[in-house]
Amino acid sequence: MEEVSAFINAAHIYIRMKMIEEAATTQVAWVLSYVQGEVAEAWKDNLLDELAKGESEVKLAEQLFAKIRNDFGETSEEERKIEQLRTIEQAGRTCDEYMQEFKKVARGSGYKGQPLIEEFKRGLNGAIRRKLAEAEEPPSTIGEWQERAVRLDRNQRQSRAEERMLGKNAARPGENTQPKGGSYGGRGGQIMQRWGDNGGGYREEGNIGNRGGNQSGSRRDPNAMDIDRGREGDRTCYHCGK
């Protein structure tokens, strides 16, 4: 049942483009050649038999389309479209995609004016709906709602794409963000940090002066607490020198 409208539309367009000058019987036969499968096949056989005996009222393609709608279509297409209109949502799609489906479903649903606007607003993503509703001059017609919603959605997607690109450029993977050399230390001395000549990583050189004497060579973590120094009654922070 849900394929009836699509089938009729496709056949109707092809006839207008390619078979407009063909005889009505040829057009009817061409459409019937695509009616296939299960119950549709049996329906076609019965119709062909009626046509051969002159018992069918189908003479034109339009009459055949009407018969297909009557025999295979929904009992109430309007009710089906209203149900779809009340449940359709944008979700993860672009606003363009949502709008096109909304227009298709709304056509033939009987919805017009404010009820149609409310259904369109309901299906929009919340962020877009709020921005348009809170605008200085909010949309007032279904056309304005659709046009401005699509434009806002495009702008938001473009902005997010630019932010992602700027973020990648700010921190490209694989780049070494560590300095090649540097120093740190406090009041008591200085430790030099250099990159190993053999590429083996950082090493620390220099000395840290304190009351107990000088220390040189490879150092431990300068932020670690020195328990031995605490016994002298004078504690100096290796990090800030205080």
Q: Which of 143, 170, 197 finishes a domain?
A: 170
Q: Reply yes or no on whether the pLDDT at 95 is more than 70.
A: yes
pLDDT digits (tens, 9 = 90+) for 33-55: 999 888 889 999 999 999 888 88
Rounded distance between C-alpha atoms, residue 44 and residue 88, angstroms: 35
Range of the structural domain that residue 188 is part of: 181-230
Mean pLDDT over the full length of the chain: 78
- Asked if residue 176 belongs to a domain, the reply is no
Q: Is the pLDDT of residue 198 over 70?
A: no
Instruction: Say if 237 falls within a structural domain.
Output: no
Q: What pLDDT sits at residue 163? A: 87
* Residue 101 sits in the same domain as residue 163: yes
Helix residue spans in the chain (DSSP H): 4-18, 24-33, 38-53, 61-72, 77-87, 95-106, 113-123, 126-133, 142-170, 227-230
Residue 96, domain member (yes or no):
yes
Assess whether pLDDT exceeds 60 at residue 233.
yes
For residues 61 and 82, state if they share a domain: no
Residues 185, 161 share a domain: no
**Do 42 and 105 reside in the same domain of the chain?**
no
pLDDT at 142: 92
Q: Is 28:60 a contact under the CB 8 Å cutoff?
A: yes
Is 9 in the same domain as 88? no
Query: Are residues 145 and 152 in contact, defined by beta-carbon separation less than 8 angstroms?
Result: no
Say if residue 55 is in the same domain as residue 121.
no
Residue 134 domain-assigned (yes or no): yes
Q: At what angle do helices 24-33 and 61-72 cross, to 10 degrees?
A: 30
Over residues 198-222, mean pLDDT: 50
- At 165, give phi and psi (nearest 5°): -65, -45
Q: Which of 101, 85, 89, 69 is nearest to 3 (CA)?
A: 69
Number of domains, the chain = 3
Q: How far apart are CA 53 and CA 40, in angstroms?
A: 20
Residue 24 lies in a domain: yes
Q: Is residue 220 pLDDT above 90, yes or no?
A: no
- The verdict on 86 and 161 lying in the same domain is yes
Asked whether residue 40 falls in the same domain as residue 118, the answer is no
Instruction: Name the nearest CA neighbour of 101 among 85, 86, 116.
Output: 85
pLDDT at 191 over 70: no
Q: Which of 145, 170, 195 is the last residue of a domain?
A: 170
Residue 189 lies in a domain: yes
Task: Kindly state whether residues 68 and 83 are assigned to the same domain.
Answer: no
Q: Looking at per-residue confidence, does 146 or 79 come out higher?
A: 146
**Residue 242 in domain:** no
Q: Are residues 115 and 152 in the same domain?
A: yes
Instruction: Identify the band that residue 152 occupies on the pLDDT scale cut at 50, 70 and 90.
Output: very high
Its pTM stands at 0.43
Residue 235: inside a domain, yes or no?
no
- Residue that terminates a domain, selected from 16, 38, 72: 72
